Structure 1
Amino acid sequence: MIELPQSFLEMPRWWTEGAEWLAGLPRAVESQCSRWGLTITGPVAHGSNAVVVPVERDGAAFALRMSPPGDEVSEQVRALRWWDGRGTVRLYDADATRGAMLLELLGESLDERPVGEAVEVLGGLMRRLAVEGPKDAWSTQDLVRASARKMEGHLTGQTRAVAPPYLLAALDVAPKLAASKATAAVNGDLHSAQVLRGRREQWLVVDPVLYRGDIEYDLARILWTRLDEMTNDAEIQQCFDTAVRAAALDRSHARDWVIFRTVDYWLWGLSVGLTTDPVRCRRLLGAIL
């Protein structure tokens, strides 16, 4: 059976949930390999809530991904089938009830590449994924309306974790974002760590979250996840412009989305006790506003 990396066992998610699944994971991997006729060929890699095991079947290489079963797995399977390998890892088989996916084997993470290169790649992937989205997917318009209502509550409440000027800036752009008529497929979890080197295409997205609407939705995440590597405001603005150019975006509309999503993430980060991310959010807004 596989040996789970200690770094995976120590992930924060397992502090409050998933202990039973985690204990049974080595046996579950063994069972899934038997079910799909797979042979393990290398060490286990992992993210925050899933392991990826390199495997082989009939001389062909794959990656077996195992994560806790549930709606999240079903949604990932749907997203990968929707894009069908266009800018994303190819899905060969899935068993959502067991949290199992058989995927194309990929290489190094985009997180290992310089920030300027990564931002350009991610911008290109935003455009690459912009096929027509499914009509029943969550829309970025609905998401912004829901978040704006929460921001209004923070603005009028007695506890103001985020200064009013930032909340007002986000609420000022919210009506324009909510009124968008865009219907493109959107990846709602796009950042360097979720992109790996491929063979069919140079870089491919893993673990996408499928929305419908404005592809600018997650541009802020592209920036804040690598913000510590940007030395000053000028470099932040340069990275923003690089992504806008690579994705062929309207700069003003992209800026509005960065403002709104950064304030939204700032509020969420504070609500769950994050410490470094709110600081990044403040810095990003300082450079963009």
Structure 2
Amino acid sequence: MADEKPSDPSPDPKSISATDPLTVPLLDGGVRERLTARFGAEIAAWLDGLPKVLEALAMRWRVELGSLIPRGSMSVVIRCGLPDGRSSVLKVSPDRVRLAAEAAALDRWTTAHTPSVLEVDESVGALLMEAIEPGIPLVESLVYPDTETAANLLLALHASGVPDPSYLPLARRVANLFNSGTNPYKRHPELLDLIPRELYERGRQLATRLAVRVPPTALLHGDLTPTNILDGGVQRGLVAIDPAPCLGDDLAFDAIDLVLWQADDGDMIASRAKLLAPAIGVDTGHLVEWCTAFAAMTALELAESPNAPPNRVQTYLTLAAQAPGDA
């Protein structure tokens, strides 16, 4: 379910002047490649016009533009400095609707487990938020969180989120994920031999059946992958970024990636679910069902990656095979 890529350390933004147009960071080939893969060739015009947008935002919000954070296929992300010396992160996306929903959700969560929103401009799809320190994503640190730490994050998001009716219901979020999740098949048709489309569709059917039962009475993060979970230090614990907010009172959905990530075998998945489920107040079997539904998609994403561990791909395929054919 991961949409984003890990970030790299950035230089000190204090050394850059926000009023100098030459300080607008160069949109390198990596940025263009990632966004083109997501939005298509038509994104070129948006990218070409982005430097002027960034310059205007920097002057209006009085931020010093630093270097690009090379993460994500949905947006351009830049580390910035504030006048008071604090660090911040500027995110600009051509998908203005999604970014507006993300900003609204972050602004309404009243927990230290999400970053504070500093500025928003929906007209250009821009969001300025506090930088999390040390801010290393789980996918980069490769440190698997203990059960209590993971549960604290999930429970804080569940308890403090505001379920605005404008957000998509969970069933729509699930449908969108499974629709976009087929893109690896288009880029690498040979993956059909490893992850048959029939297996993928069985996961979709199971996920749909689970989602339609969920009442829209709570806010879910919607994209709680190891890439979108940062180390917030001793005081804050784990911090969630980049939500794709949706409505559904089923915390098991947001726990899927934490259970599946780096799992070397089925016993590890079962053990994690057995520990995490009661800690967040859900049934263990129900959490395993959600993981089963997304196992084929997870296998497909991993198999597309260079140097993917074959044993982990096989672990997800074995779990995916447990999805009923008539779900």
Q: Return the TM-score normalized by structure 2.
A: 0.67
- Structure 1 CA distance for aligned equivalents of residues 218 and 207 of structure 2: 20
Is residue 258 of structure 1 aligned with residue 291 of structure 2?
Answer: yes
Q: Who is 1:137 aligned against?
A: 167
Instruction: Judge conservation of contact 1:38–1:55 (CA < 8 Å) in 2.
Output: yes
The answer to whether structure 1 residue 22 and structure 2 residue 57 are counterparts is no
Letter of the structure 2 residue corresponding to residue 133 of structure 1: P
Q: Distance in 1 between matches of 2:100 and 2:110?
A: 15
Q: Is 1:247 the equivalent of 2:283?
A: no
**1:1-289 residue pairs with structure 2 within 5 A?**
1=23, 2-11=25-34, 12-13=37-38, 16-40=41-65, 42-48=66-72, 49-68=75-94, 70-106=96-132, 107-117=135-145, 121-131=149-159, 133-141=163-171, 161-163=197-199, 167=202, 171=205, 175=209, 177-181=211-215, 183-198=217-232, 201-213=236-248, 214-224=250-260, 226=261, 229-262=262-295, 265=297, 275=304, 283-284=315-316, 286-287=318-319, 289=322
Q: Give the whole-Å Cα distance in 2 for the aligned partners of 1:54 and 1:178.
A: 41
Q: Secondary structure at the match of 2:253?
A: helix
Residues 244 and 250, structure 1, Cα contact 8 Å, conserved in 2: yes
Q: How many residues align?
A: 266
Q: Describe the SS at the equivalent of 1:94.
A: strand
CA distance in 1, matches of 2:177, 2:48: 37
SS in 2 for 1:26: helix
Offset from partner CA, 1:60-81 (integer Å, 9 cap, x none): 3322222225211111112112
Distance in 1 separating the partners of 2:94 and 2:109: 23
Alignment CA distance shift 1:219-1:27 (3 Å): same
What CA distance in whole angstroms lies between the structure 1 residues aligned with 2:176 and 2:294? 12
Q: Which residue identity lines up with residue 144 of structure 2 in the other structure?
A: G
Q: Give 1:142 shift.
A: 5.8
> 2:117, 2:213 → 1: CA distance?
34
Is the CA contact (8 Å cut-off) linking 2:138 and 2:229 kept in structure 1?
Answer: yes
- How many angstroms does 1:147 deviate by? 9.3
CA contact (8 A) 1:138 1:212 kept: yes
Shift in Å, 1:19: 0.8
C-alpha displacement at 1:86, in angstroms? Answer: 4.7
Any conservation in 2 of the 1:55–1:64 contact (CA below 8 Å)?
Answer: no
Q: Per-residue deviation at 1:183? A: 2.0
Q: CA RMSD in A?
A: 3.6
Task: Name the CA distance, whole Å, in 1 between partners of 2:140 and 2:43.
Answer: 29
Q: Which position in structure 2 is the counterpart of 1:153?
A: none
Task: Structure 1: give runs of 5+ residues left out of the alignment.
Answer: 149-159
SS at match of 1:65: strand
Check conservation: 1:259, 1:285, Cα contact below 8 A: no
TM-score when normalising by structure 1? 0.75
Provide Cα deviations, 1:203-234, integer angstroms capped at 9, x if missing partner.
Answer: 2111111112112123333345x3xx332222
C-alpha distance in structure 2 between counterparts of 1:145 and 1:20, whole Å? 29
Look up the equivalent residue of 2:229 and give its one-letter code.
V
Tell me the secondary structure at the aligned position of residue 4 of structure 1. Answer: coil
Q: Judge which range, 132-141 or 62-71, deviates more.
A: 132-141
Q: Distance in 1 between matches of 2:272 and 2:79?
A: 34
- The residue type equivalent to 1:284 in the other structure is Y
* CA gap 1:281/1:141 in 2 versus in 1, 3 angstroms: farther
Paired AA for residue 157 in structure 2: L
- Contact 1:67–1:100, Cα closer than 8 Å, also in 2: yes
- Displacement after TM superposition at 1:108 (Å): 1.5
SS in 1 for 2:128: strand
